Structure 1
């Protein structure tokens, strides 16, 4: 059957889901040599149907896109959180020290 994809950014708008082919079975006939006649051929990568390759490629590209989007969001969150935490963890002692210095100088000035 055909699966229509709904997301906007995609290289494949239509992904054809292939049906699984039936493997050749050994027959019970004795008139011919069943060990030769009904033996399945040795499978190679070049014998793979093209829609299998395209389906795998489409799903691979789609999952790479999804994982990259998720990864980008995670990296933005990590960058924001670490920069926010680093800013506040480093600035708070400096602020406290400057406030103490200002308060001390103000007290010295008033006295």
Structure 2
């Protein structure tokens, strides 16, 4: 780890996890997984989890607070955060498989025989 990134680590080494739930969705259906922490300098940081890039900087909480996004930011446990990450991985793999099948079906369509 480079020295610069150490300045952005949580003061206590702990992250607090939250889920963003879009307005109209059930409270157990997270749209985004967020983590929040305070640096040794007292700055607050937020990241969202993405399947392909891991944790990336985000401003979802601020957007919800300032009404630029609708919905709620709800606390979740570290265990629930891990479950969300695993479920996201499965969903991404399933979506990739379905897209592969769709493209294969499009490239090789099955045309039923014409009956007289």
After TM superposition, the score normalised by the length of structure 2 is 0.32
**RCO higher in structure (CA 8 A, sep ≥6):** 2
- Structure with more of its chain in strand, by fraction: 2
After TM superposition, the score normalised by the length of structure 1 is 0.33
- Structure with more of its chain in helix, by fraction: 1
